[in-house]
Amino acid sequence: MLGGLRVHLREGTCIPRSGKEYDLCGKGALKVFVEGDASSGVVGIEGRAEEEFAEWPVEISLNVRPQAFVAATNASIYDGAWACNEAYMGRGRPEDCAGLPSNYPKRPSVDLDVFKWWLQPWATPYFGEDFPDLLPFTIALLAQLKDGGYLALLAASSQDLSGYLWEGWTLRAYMGVKSRTISRSWVMAYGLSADPYEAVRRAWAALAAHANLKLRENKRRPPFLDRLGWCSWNAFLTDVSAKGVLDVVRRLRERGLPISWVLIDDGWQRERRVEQPCCINRVITSLSPDEAKFPGGFEEAIGALRSLGIKWVGLWHTLNVHWGGFDDAVDEELGDLGIPYGSAKAPPPAFPEALQLYRRFYNALRGFDFVKVDNQCSSRLAARHAGEKVGRAAGALQTALQLAAEEAGLDVLNCMSMNPENYSNYFSSNVMRTSNDYVPYWREGARLHALSNAYNSLFFSELVWPDFDMFSTYDPYAKLHLVLRVFSGGPLYITDRDPERTNADLLRMAVLPNGEVVRVDSPAVPTRDALFENPYKGRKLLKLASTVRGKAAVALCNVSDKRVADGLTPDLLPFRAPADVYYKVFAKEGGRTPRRVEVELEPLDCEVVILSRPGLVGLAEYVLPPYPIVDGKPIAPGTPVVIE
């Protein structure tokens, strides 16, 4: 699989001579390691040179002959309609932004570089039919090979390097600084199998055996994921306040909606604005919230939320504490451990100093149950400011953050983190946002949000529970958003601003009377016929499959701009499951499973199909009818669906 090698030194490029180790044109030596076998393994790099290696020191060509492939890149390949966020708050007209184009899939800008790229922390899927060559900053790939079988590749980070798949079907390694040494660093994992899903599993298993991560099934599932939540972000943006949060939550619960957890998002901080190379940025000036927004501090707000019946309360912050870092007063509160970060400070990308800083930070945030840690891509900038190798910097920051959170009893919801240096270090945290932000009202955004989350679940659900982000129940595409979040297995949370407009009937299809969310047994992934053909183009429906209480469940959604007729056959499932009878949840029809279950949908509509043995399928009132059936008996009121 590995081909030719190029090594970039400070003074030029060397095409080394091969041997037990590569001779760097008389200036040093480099080793490329493959640990594994024909079915799975990892690729590593180690080297030393008389002159410094460049920031991007190594390129390795890949001998891959794909018949078709799907991949995910950190490069920006569509445009956003961020004005819809303002329209949702009443500061604009939804009709002015709803139809704005996305230009997906557009080719990334030719002037990509790491410093600019740090603002692109998301992964967006693309398909071989659109880009036969790989795009820069590709982090995951599944290919159907011309000579048979399937190959999964995962970009990885450890020690000194972060790996990326790149144009020309190459593997590129990034160090971030110039150095004469590269310690052994794992930069890519691979998995090969006759089954595409097994290829992905094998790649992750190989990476978990070598990197600073554990697989999802080996980590604790945060308990708040099993209940319905509410987040302040789209509801208030940065205008969040204790009064606003309490008012919305109170009114939602008065409507009988069992909101069990609340996330206080960005906007709670005391801050000042500074000019930094990226933008006009925001620097936090105190670990206490803005007293004008939270006059009684966090303690009073948390107490009031708990009095309303809220069991878990979370708080948003960034990996570097705030977007632009923190000032000297906050640095003093955190132990004077910060490093220079533009005109502010940031956590030190070194261990154990970073652990001490995060411990102090979380000690100041008593009363919370979890944190949403955003802007994790800033680990790369912290490394640059500290003059540290990116893999080491990110490993230190992630290890410190997760250990400090564990000690404080906080679960971590990871965000803006779909970069190798972050996800390669998830040994404890078990939830990760798998798409760019949800944008209310934006039609193209709904399509792309669905597409991104679906295919990123294919690549990352072995590592974490995917977070498809919050949504509004009175968004025109709320049904699509609800169905997909139920199939994610991750958090289901809303960002409704006006509780009187909340679509309570829609929510009740996904939430039991006790507040428990109906959910699949494991994150749903695309069916076999959807792996390599882009459903955005309208030739097929997006089909995501999992099981619920052991019964097959498939979400069929139209993410194109035209009406689509498609079908489902049991052999398309990623797993084997009984399929004697079928039931269409929204059409409320079923019977003996025909050769092909036909479904025809308008754009941005969904159907859910359950495949089962004859007998009790579930309760008709729920998106996943089998979920409220335990040991053959209903655990909630509803209408039994029985198909013989």
Q: What pLDDT is stored for residue 280 in this prediction?
A: 72
Does 65 reside within a domain?
yes
Q: What is the mean pLDDT of residues 395-413?
A: 98
Highest-scoring range by mean pLDDT, 112-121, 268-277, 585-594: 585-594
In angstroms, the CA 126 to CA 129 distance is 9
SS3 call for 567: strand
Of the residues 193, 211, 229, which one is the last residue of a structural domain? 211
Does 322 share its domain with 279?
A: yes
DSSP-assigned letters across all residues of 138-206: EEEEEEEETTSSEEEEEE-EETTEEEEEETTTEEEEE-SS-EEEEEEEEEEEEEEESSHHHHHHHHHHH
Q: Is 605 considered catalytic here? A: no
- So what's the pLDDT on residue 279? 72
**Do residue 203 and residue 232 come from a single domain?**
no
Indicate the average pLDDT of the chain.
Answer: 96
Q: Residues 311-335: pLDDT tens digits?
A: 999 999 999 999 999 999 999 999 9
What tens digit of pLDDT does each residue of 561-599 get? 999 999 999 999 999 999 999 999 999 999 999 999 999
Chain-centroid distance of CA 573 in Å reads 23
Helix or strand run (H / E) with residue 88: helix 83-88
Of 211, 241, 257, the residue at which a domain comes to its end is: 211
Tokens at 208, concatenated: 């978990």
DSSP 8-state assignment for residue 282: E
CATH code of the domain containing 251: 3.20.20.70
Interatomic CA distance for residues 644 and 639, integer angstroms: 16
Confidence check: pLDDT of 442 > 50: yes
pLDDT the model gives residue 431: 98
Whether 266 is catalytic is no
Q: Is the pLDDT of residue 18 over 90?
A: no
Give the list of residues 6+ apart from residue 238 with CB closer than 8 angstroms, or none: 266, 267
Could you say which of 266, 374, 467, 469 is catalytic?
Answer: 374
> Would you say residue 408 has pLDDT above 80?
yes
* Residue 103 covered by a domain: no
Q: Which residues contact 131 (CB under 8 A, 6 or more apart)?
A: 105, 107
407: containing domain: 220-433
What's the distance, CA 510 to chain centroid?
A: 22
pLDDT of 116 higher than 70:
no
User: Do residues 558 and 583 both lie within one domain?
Assistant: yes
Q: Which of 23, 437, 521, 529 is catalytic?
A: 437
Q: Looking at the structure, tell me whether residues 637 and 533 fall in a common domain.
A: yes
Q: Which helix (H) or strand (E) holds 49?
A: strand 40-62
**Mean pLDDT score, 428-452:** 98
Residue 565 Cα distances to 179, 398, 591, 599, 605, angstroms: 57, 45, 20, 6, 12
| 45 & 129 share domain | yes
Instruction: Identify whether residues 353 and 282 lie together within a single domain.
Output: yes
Segment 484-530, tens digit of pLDDT: 999 999 999 999 999 999 999 999 999 999 899 999 999 999 999 99
Count of domains forming the chain: 3
Q: Give domain status of residue 458, yes or no.
A: no
The reply to whether 445 falls in a domain is: no
Q: What is the pLDDT of residue 112?
A: 65
Q: For residue 117, what pLDDT band results from cuts at 50, 70 and 90?
A: very low
Residues 375 and 284 in one domain: yes
Please check whether residues 263 and 195 belong to one and the same domain. no
Q: Do 534 and 638 belong to one domain?
A: yes
**CATH number of the domain bearing residue 555:** 2.60.40.1180
Q: What is the mean pLDDT of residues 125-135?
A: 96
Residue 119 lies in a domain: yes
Instruction: Mention every residue, 6+ apart, whose C-beta is less than 8 A from residue 105.
Output: 77, 78, 124, 126, 130, 131
Torsion sign across C-alpha atoms 428, 429, 434, 436: negative
Tokens of 572: 């398309």
Q: What is the pLDDT of residue 45?
A: 97
Mean pLDDT of the 64-79 span:
96
How far is C-alpha 605 from the chain's CA centre?
23
Q: The pTM is what?
A: 0.97
Among the candidates 385, 416, 433, a domain finishes at 433
